[in-house]
Structure 1
Amino acid sequence: MSGDALHTYEPADLDEMSPRQAVDAVTADIRDHHITVDGTGLFNAARHIGLLCHLAAGMAADVEYQLAPNIADLPPAEILGASAGHVGRAIAHYTQALAPLITLTTTAQNTLQQQLDSLDHHSRLRIHLDDARRALAAARTALEVPRTPAAASAPTPAPLPAPAIRRRA
């Protein structure tokens, strides 16, 4: 992929985007800047964690802002909160991926035994990165919930109590 086609975002870039656009931007950045077992991969992981943290903080602020009256441009607070929770899971998996990534980056793998020993680290790294991608996809999905203007502003009616059935003794 050429340098022009890479998506590279900084946290401040996310501030001018809708929550859905910001999730898409972070997803594109993560997709285009792979985590490799070297200094570049470690740098990319740190960048991704920074982007995810900024995204989660922005969503949390939007939730608080959404609770103010007359805010029409944001998804409902419940949807933003659910999406922010998924972003939090992605952050957790990325930070858990740091331990095996650092070990793989700093440990020589010259011998067959060293390479065999690194298999567990590679596996744990892949599991955490895959789980982070799934969590970010869930954050995007949470923001896709369709809402109609009437449904967004109308309160949900309380469920009616079930009628009691009386038996004669």
Structure 2
Amino acid sequence: MTMGNKKELPPEQREALLSTLKGRFEKNMHRHQGLAWANVQAKLEAFPEKLWSLHEMERTGGEPDVVGQDKKTGEYIFYDCSAESPNGRRSVSYDREGQESRKEHKPENNALDMAAAMGIALLSEAEYRELQQLGKFDMKTSSWVKTPAEIRKLGGALFADFRYGNVFVYHNGAQSYYAARGFRGSLKV
């Protein structure tokens, strides 16, 4: 819901989301050792637009959770921690250029535009590898990752998954899309 120009959740949705996030935080302490939920919640309550973005991550199946804290800025870092690529963000091409370049069977959306609309960023390859240190993700699906400009300029885009006990990063045309490929996001609060 947008209130004025700001994206804010109504009080009942905000409370439900905070409860969900707190439960996930407490259940997965290995992802954020040394951090306290009370501090995270205080930061979230100070930035309602970030709560809106986390709600979008949750609504699309991302199961966002705290994975660390930026030592320079003090911001808490959230990643999508769903076991598989978020279900509500699959079957999308990498970006608008890739989406529009398809002659037929165009996907309904693309990862970069969806992420921007949600107020989040695609995970980079390094962030994706960090996430995989916290568990096993994308064992049946794959996720687009932020693609370097030099690769994108040539028509390609990168995606990653976890198979055979390893993280694999591959390439595809940015216009491609698959039912089992989505994207994971990050948000700093």
- Output the TM-score relative to the length of structure 1: 0.25
Determine which structure has the larger helix proportion and give its number. 1
Determine which structure has the larger strand proportion and give its number. 2
Structure number with larger C-alpha Rg: 1
